[in-house]
Amino acid sequence: MKTPELTVSKQPYLPIRQWDAQDRPREKFMAGNIPAMLNEELLAILIGSGTGQCSALDIARGILHHFNGNLQEISYRSPKELIRRFNGIGEAKAVSILAGLELGKRSCNAEPASETFIRSSADAFRFICKEFSASPYERFFVLLLSQSCRLIRKVLISEGGTAATLVDAKKIFKFAIDEHASGIILSHNHPSGNTKPSPEDIGITERICKGARLLDLYVFDHIIVSGHRYFSFSDENLVLEPLSKRLSSLPIK
């Protein structure tokens, strides 16, 4: 027998999409207020939508009430059991709930990922050179770093012809902001075999450095790779904040 749908009050039912934005579970999640969210709100996000008589949040409350708020107990159930027990839960919703809970369990048991720290131009070259080894075209990457120079993410910004590639500084800054990076390292290759920076390379670096300054973002280096050799703007003191200078004020981790 299915658990009856719950209603939160005797007032007319109002779908979540008609609630104030600050009260909607998805909007709360997007606003970054995740630690303060209730289990029922997070479960409602997995459920996705309600029925004509109750919201996804009402359904989530009903499920949690049935299992005394025990998420682990819910995770042991089968999709068919959830479908059978609860109004408003079909196959898609049951699978979404159980898949979300399973991912939570796996994330708790996962081995910590090994961390990469880039503390010099040589570190940057060793990490990025493999991305250029088999490419006959220019490729432009940005390495996003934390305050302690831990690598957060490597991003391919553009890929062009044998002589040049277009670089959108706004795209670089968007990735840096989205990943909460404190600094970046630029890197591209010269398929010609010459590591000397071109006037365009210097101009791009200067433009990105100026934009980064406005965002309190450090440009640690720009590495030009060609085969087994590289040119470092930082080593030649050609960038805004040489990596060696920045590291002198940071604890080694």
Q: What is the pLDDT of residues 93-151, one digit of tens each?
A: 999 999 999 999 888 877 666 789 999 999 999 999 988 877 788 999 999 999 999 99
The CATH fold of domain 121-247: Cytidine Deaminase; domain 2 (3.40.140)
DSSP state of 132: T
Q: What percentage of residues in the chain have a pLDDT greater than 70?
A: 84
The residues pairing with 224 across neighbouring beta strands, listed in sequence order, are 188, 231
User: What DSSP letter does each residue of 47-111 carry, written as one string?
Assistant: H----SSS-HHHHHHHHHHHTTT-HHHHHTS-HHHHHHHBTT--HHHHHHHHHHHHHHHHHHHSP
Among the residues of 191-240, which ranges form H helices?
199-214
Q: What percentage of residues in the chain have a pLDDT greater than 90?
A: 56
Q: pLDDT band at 33, cuts 50/70/90?
A: confident
Q: pLDDT band at 251, cuts 50/70/90?
A: very low
Q: pLDDT band at 247, cuts 50/70/90?
A: very low
Close Cβ partners of 184 (under 8 Å, ≥ 6 residues apart): 142, 143, 144, 145, 172, 176, 212, 217, 218, 219, 220
In this prediction, residue 250 carries a pLDDT of: 43
User: In the chain, where are the structural domains located?
Assistant: 16-109, 121-247
* Long-range CB contact pairs, 15-23, < 8 A, 24+: 15/50, 15/55, 16/44, 16/50, 16/55, 16/56, 16/57
190/150 Cα distance (integer angstroms): 26
Close Cβ partners of 166 (under 8 Å, ≥ 6 residues apart): 158, 160
Q: pLDDT band at 12, cuts 50/70/90?
A: low
Closest CA to 221 of 199, 194, 245: 245
Say whether pLDDT at 249 is over 60: no
Angstrom CA distances, 35 to 96, 134, 156, 177, stand at: 21, 45, 32, 21
Say whether pLDDT at 240 is over 60: no
The residues pairing with 158 across neighbouring beta strands, listed in sequence order, are 140
Q: pLDDT band at 161, cuts 50/70/90?
A: low
Say whether pLDDT at 245 is over 60: no
In this prediction, residue 214 carries a pLDDT of: 92
Of these ranges, 99-113, 171-185, 189-203, the one predicted with the greatest mean pLDDT is: 171-185
126/42 Cα distance (integer angstroms): 42
What average pLDDT does the chain have?
A: 85
Q: pLDDT band at 9, cuts 50/70/90?
A: very low
In this prediction, residue 1 carries a pLDDT of: 57
4 burial type by CB count under 10 A (0-12 exposed, 13-18 middle, 19+ buried): exposed
Tokens describing residue 204: 């791009």
- Residue predicted with more confidence, 174 or 107: 174
**Overall average pLDDT of the 181-207 stretch:** 92
Tell me the one-letter amino acid at 30. Answer: M
Tokens describing residue 15: 């779908």
